Amino acid sequence: MATRTPGDALAHPIAGSAAKRVPGRGHTRSAVLFLAPFGLLFTAMLLAPIGYAVYQSFFRTRRSGLGLGPSTTVFAGFDNYVTALHDSRFMSSFLRVFTLGIVQVPVMLGLALLLALLLDSRGAVFKKFFRQIYFLPYALPGVIAAIMWSFLYAPSVSPFTAALRHIGLEVNFLSDDLVLASIGNMMTWAWTGFNMLIIYSALQAIPGELTEAAVMDGCSGWRVAWHVKIPAVRPALILTTVFSIIGTAQLFNEPAVLSQVAPTVSPTYTPILATQQSADINNYNYAATQSVILALLTFVLSFGFLKFTQRKGTFA
Amino acid sequence: MTTVTPSAARAAAGPPGRPRTSSLAGRAGVFAVMALFALYTLIPVWWLLVTATKNSGYLFTTNGLWFSHFDLWTNIRDVFQEQDGIFARWLLNSALYSIGGAAVSTTLSAMAGYALAKYPFRGRDLTFNVILGAVLIPDVMFALPLYLMFSQVHLVNTYWAVFLPSVVSPFGVYLSRIYAGASVPDELIEAARLDGAGEARIFWRVAMPIMSPALVTIFLFQFVSIWNNYLLPLLMLNSDELQPVTVGLANWREGVNQGIPYNITITGAFLSVIPLIVAFLVLQRFWRSGLTAGSVK
């Protein structure tokens, strides 16, 4: 999975930029000077590549003769897109990641919410200790974690396989049936604590009077959680869901490492792997097309989710 | 994976009508669930620690979750000797990319965030929204076309290819703007102006010190995200000497079939994790404040 940066993009506007004065010419100049270094790099490293990818996706390299002669670049219109949409391996990579996300994201966020509620509850002990433990996987680079799990899944060295064999079960975590679930487990292991901390921070911000009033009214702990706490952390849940959608769409590290050891993980297992493979074989226009499609789909899913949750119910 | 019954969760927050105490059974239920998940989190890390102390041969024959023949020092020596000691180079590269990239990106973010918070100018909201929008776009969207662009200007396979994209942090600008808006008083800036200070001087001497808690957070997040990056260096770099430790170790993992011993990769992974875990434990409160600023308002 690629790295996700915390910070809420859309869920709330900025408060506190109190500027009542009418803009002066000198101030505009200062603002431009302060913004220029970031703005230039932002344009060069983020905006330009997007434009370049879109541009590239409309061209195609044609080689003359038997592919040995000089190549020419020709305008291809939407041909690359049509090819991609008929590319069964590329399309099944989407389906695979979508299936994984539909199961893994709710499981992970459900767990994160449960753990945050338990940490926030009165009955909890050693809160600080547990919080640190849960957040620990965030400190492990995704690839290093993937390398670690690749050994933990490998039949010859896995302590889990050995333990299961002890009780008479023969399980191969890298088999065709299980490898997707194994990847889901790696993602859950890596990100539950991170999401838990975001939700937990939101829980801490709920005014004490609100929960106490509910308790006075005779609400049980379970009902306080359901009727007061969960609605109050709705923005945090939306935020973590959007991060998870973006992160799942970019699934790369785990399958990239597993593909080295498990033949079940093909070079086109996820959309990013497929895109990278196209680049590896110098089919840059097609790679650009694939990355545009992936970005569009991710954007539609994450933005669609935001819109859907904003329309549905206005409380919280 | 843990499962939990509704009754355990109900018990978690205390029985109805008795807000001040919670039953012993309830506490035990909460503790059991939390401990179970802690085990799930810890076992893989524990395995990594234990296995880093083992010689290759014992990896296959001994219990993976407990120590036998303590060979950690030999393993560490082997890690640093493999391929003429390239592991030290990888660590150094990672440190260079991460510390340098995070320092530059924090400075640029602080300047941009401060400008967006404190200077009213036309197009300010548009600028800010474009920067925020970038957070929602997948990394690969930038990484691959950047590779194509860099190969045209012959930046591929240089330090710059990894360094330059790392210094742009839209999230850093976002945090800086929130923090500057909330904590740097307009009156203070105005007073400094009346005293004859220039805008740059006000930023460095007045605003930056006030913003420093937010800047530490930005630095940390950027540091970790650069240290953890895999796709970008994988695309951009060919030569082993320029790789960060993540890519190097992944190559060793792949090379297990070509004779790179298991214990080298595992002990290397273990060693590469230590600096981050230490940084994370020491600077913990900054993580939380960063996450809180990002999610609660």
Say whether A3 and B269 touch across the interface (CB within 8 A): no
Say whether B13 and A220 touch across the interface (CB within 8 A): yes
Write the secondary structure of chain B as one string of H (helix), E (strand) and C (coil): CCCCCHHHHHHHCCCCCCCCCCCHHHHHHHHHHHHHHHHHHHHHHHHHHHHHCCCHHHHHHCCCCCCCCCCHHHHHHHHHHHHHHHHHHHHHHHHHHHHHHHHHHHHHHHHHHHHHHHCCCCCHHHHHHHHHHHHHCCHHHHHHHHHHHHHHCCCCCCHHHHHHHHCCCHHHHHHHHHHHHHHCCHHHHHHHHHCCCCHHHHHHHHHHHHHHHHHHHHHHHHHHHHHHCCHHHHHHCCCHHHCCHHHHHHHHHHHHHHCCCHHHHHHHHHHHHHHHHHHHHHCHHHHHHHHHHHHCC
pLDDT on residue B1: 41
Mean pLDDT of chain A: 85
Distance from CA of B4 to the nearest CA of A (A): 9
pLDDT on residue A250: 87
Nearest CA in chain A to B146: A49
Amino acid found at A257: V
CB crowding A244-258: b at 16 or more within 10 Å, else e: bbbbbbbbbbbbbbb
pLDDT-flagged residues of chain A (< 50): 1-23, 314-316
Which of B137, B149, B228 lies at the smallest CB-CB distance from A295? Answer: B137
Say whether B120 and A236 touch across the interface (CB within 8 A): no
Say whether B186 and A134 touch across the interface (CB within 8 A): no
Which of B6, B132, B142 lies at the smallest CB-CB distance from A45? Answer: B142
Query: Which residues in chain A (93-112) have CB-CB distances under 8 A to chain B?
Result: 107, 111
Say whether B119 and A27 touch across the interface (CB within 8 A): yes
Whether pTM > 0.80 for this model: the answer is yes
Say whether A45 and B277 touch across the interface (CB within 8 A): no
Say whether B288 and A197 touch across the interface (CB within 8 A): yes
CB distance B71 to B57 below 8 Å: no
Asked if A263 reaches chain B (Cβ–Cβ under 8 Å), the answer is no
Distance from CA of A249 to the nearest CA of B (A): 8
pLDDT on residue A110: 97
What ipTM was reported for this prediction?
0.84
In tens digits, chain B (297 residues) has pLDDT values of: 444 444 444 444 444 444 444 578 788 888 999 999 999 999 999 999 988 888 776 666 677 777 777 778 888 888 898 888 899 999 999 999 999 999 999 999 999 999 999 998 888 999 998 998 887 777 767 888 898 899 889 999 999 999 999 999 998 998 899 889 988 999 999 999 999 989 999 999 999 999 988 898 899 889 988 998 998 999 899 999 999 999 999 999 888 777 788 888 999 999 999 888 887 777 777 766 666 655 433
pLDDT on residue A48: 93
Distance from CA of B258 to the nearest CA of A (A): 12
pLDDT on residue B7: 45
Tell me which chain A residues have a C-beta less than 8 angstroms from the C-beta of B227.
Answer: 141
pLDDT on residue B17: 44
Say whether B144 and A287 touch across the interface (CB within 8 A): yes
Between chain A and chain B, the number of residue pairs with CB atoms below 8 A apart is 385
Tell me which chain A residues have a C-beta less than 8 angstroms from the C-beta of B37.
Answer: 111, 115, 134, 192
Tell me which chain A residues have a C-beta less than 8 angstroms from the C-beta of B149.
Answer: 48-49, 52
Nearest CA in chain B to A163: B63
CB distance B64 to B48 below 8 Å: no
Say whether A284 and B148 touch across the interface (CB within 8 A): yes
Which of A46, A141, A246 lies at the smallest CB-CB distance from B227? Answer: A141
